[in-house]
Amino acid sequence: MDPVAAAPHRPFAVIVMGVSGSGKSTIGGRLAEILGVPFLEGDQFHPKANIDKMTAGIPLHDEDRWPWLDRLGEAIGQAARAKGGVVNASSALKRSYRARLVAAAGMPIRFICLFGDKELIASRLQKRKGHYMPPALLDSQLADFEKPLPSENALILDLGSDVETLVAEALADIRAYAG
C-alpha cells in the first residue's frame, strides 16, 4: 500500500482505552510506532499520590482523576498539533472523563476501546510482572467503566483477539477516521 495514501490526515488524536489489563499500552504503543507519531502513556501523567494509592490497592475516585485528565488532555492536544498526530493509552473509564479529555485537548479524539471478558483480563494481570497496578483493583475498574456510546466517536474492539488483529483493526479505523 502507498504509505502516503494510507497516512491519516493530520493532526489526529487517538486514545486506546479500557480497564487495567485490557491491553491499551500494548496496542497503543504499536499503533504509534506504525503511524510514526508520539506515544503518550497515560500512567506517566498521574501524580505520585495517585500511583501510591493504586500501588496500595486503593481505587482512584473522580477527585483524583480530574487533574490527571486535564494534564493528559492538554499534552495530547499539544503533541497532536506539534507532531501531526498522537496515540495515547489511558483508562478513560467514564463518559465524563472522555469529555474532559476532549475539552482539555481542544480537538476531537478517536477512542479505541478494548473491551471483553473479565476472566481473560484477570488472567493477563496475574501473569504480568513488574507493574504497580494490583490485579485486585480490576473489580473497581470494571465498576467505574462506562462503555463508550457510538455518539462518543468510539470504536469498540474485542480484547480477546490477538495483538496483530487488534492493531490491524485499529489502524483501519484510524485511517478511515482521519483519512
Ligand X SMILES: O=C(O)[C@H](O)[C@@H](O)[C@H](O)[C@H](O)CO
Task: Please provide the distance, in angstroms rounded to a whole number, between the alpha carbons at the two ends of the chain.
Answer: 14
In the bound state with ligand ATP, the residue whose beta carbon lies nearer, of 82 and 163, is 163
Partner touching 65 among ligand ATP, ligand X, none, CB below 5 to 8 Å by kind: ligand X
CB burial of 141-162 (b: ≥16 within 10 Å; e: otherwise) equals: beebbeebeeebebbebebebe
Give the number of other Cβ atoms within 10 Å of residue 87's Cβ: 29
Single-letter amino acid, residue 52: D
Question: Is residue 87 within the footprint of ligand ATP (CB under 6 A)?
Answer: no
Question: Is residue 166 within the footprint of ligand ATP (CB under 6 A)?
Answer: yes
Question: Is residue 88 within the footprint of ligand ATP (CB under 6 A)?
Answer: no
Which of 105, 111, 95, 113 is closest to 177 using CA atoms? 111
Q: Which residue in 8, 16, 20, 148 binds ligand X (CB under 6 A)?
A: 20
Q: What are the residues whose beta carbons fall under 8 Å from the beta carbon of 124, sequence distance 6 or more? A: 21, 23
Sites for ligand X among residues 55-94 (CB under 6 A): 60, 65, 91, 93
Question: Is residue 26 within the footprint of ligand ATP (CB under 6 A)?
Answer: yes
Q: What cell does 44 get?
A: 506517566
Q: Which residue in 17, 35, 38, 43 binds ligand X (CB under 6 A)?
A: 43
Sites for ligand X among residues 88-127 (CB under 6 A): 91, 93
Asked whether 51 and 99 are in contact (CB, 8 A), the reply is: no
Residues in contact with ligand X by CB under 6 A are: 20, 42-43, 54, 60, 65, 91, 93, 133, 141
Which residues bind to ligand ATP, rule: CB under 6 A?
A: 18, 20-26, 89, 124, 128, 133, 162-163, 166
